[in-house]
Amino acid sequence: MRDKVIYGLGALAILLLARDLYLIAGFPPERAQGMIFKIIFFHVPAAITAMIGSAVALVASVLFLITRKFKYDAVAVAVTEVGLAFLAANLITGSIWGRVIWGIWWTWDARLTSALVCWLLYAGYLMLRRAIEEPTQRATFAAVFSIFAFLDVPIVIFSIKWWRTQHPQPVFWGGGTFPHDWSVVMGWNLLALMLLGATMTMIRLRQEESQRELDSLRRMAHAL
């Protein structure tokens, strides 16, 4: 049953993405930026998907610390890994956009730096998990680290409000203008990327369960 849900969600995400790509390709170039503005249809949804992933990881980590149930630890690691992939896509698309519009690949402004720090923190979370063998200790340390890492997320989101940055000011919640039909496609693409992220998280979660089964089989093999 769960496999059917995973494949169904994945297929729906791919169909939506194909449809969105077709619609985005049909949009005219933006007057000031030209074609490159279309990257925003992937850059922003990838960032939102990654930020939602880190919020889910925070909730799962807190729940693990309260209940000590390993299923929450599995959710936290699955969603963090998937979120990291989306955040990487966000950083790289942003950098390519910056090369065309600003003439530089990177600048150490508050938004870009905090997003990079966020990526490094969550990469550190995954590295920390690899470094600890004992499952309970690994899950506890990782949960605490995940809560700590989440502190950077509000800084990433609000940095463009709090400081004057080279990164553009918010379009959707800062008084910017975006044509209605573009906003609709942006919303659909966000949904598509979130569905894709959910599918990947469910697959990764299944792997965590397989890993736990493998660990218990190994313990049994040692005991025999």
Partner 1 sequence: MNLLTQTLLIAQSAADIEFEMARLQRNFQFLCYGLIVAWLILVVYVLMMVGRERKLKREIAGLKAMLEDRQRG
| Residue nearer to partner 1 on the CB measure, 156 or 200 | 200
CB of 134 to partner 1, least distance (A): 20
> For 126-129, which contacts have Cβ atoms below 8 Å and span 24 or more sequence positions?
126/77, 126/80, 126/81, 126/84, 129/77
As separate numbers, helices (DSSP H) first and strands (DSSP E) second, the chain gives: 7, 0
Given the complex with partner 1, which of 35 and 151 has the nearer CB atom? 35
Cβ proximity to partner 1, 157 vs 196, nearer residue? 196
CB of 63 to partner 1, least distance (A): 24
Closest separation in Å from C-beta 211 to partner 1: 6
Contact 118, 150 (CB under 8 A): no
Least Cβ distance, residue 150 to partner 1 (angstroms): 22
Residues near partner 1 (CB under 8 A): 29, 33-36, 38-39, 42-43, 46, 82, 85-86, 88-89, 92-93, 96-97, 99-100, 196, 200, 203-204, 206-207, 210-211, 213-214, 217-218, 220-221, 224
Asked if 173 and 179 touch (Cβ cutoff 8 Å), the reply is no
Comparing CB distances to partner 1, the nearer of 42 and 122 is 42
Least distance (Å) from partner 1 to the CB of residue 36?
A: 5
| DSSP states along 170-198 | PSTTTT----HHHHHHHHHHHHHHHHHHH
Main-chain phi, psi angles of 32, to 5 degrees: -85, -35
Q: What is the distance between the alpha carbons of residues 102 and 145, in angstroms, rounded to a whole number?
A: 35
Nearer to partner 1 by C-beta: 140 or 207?
207
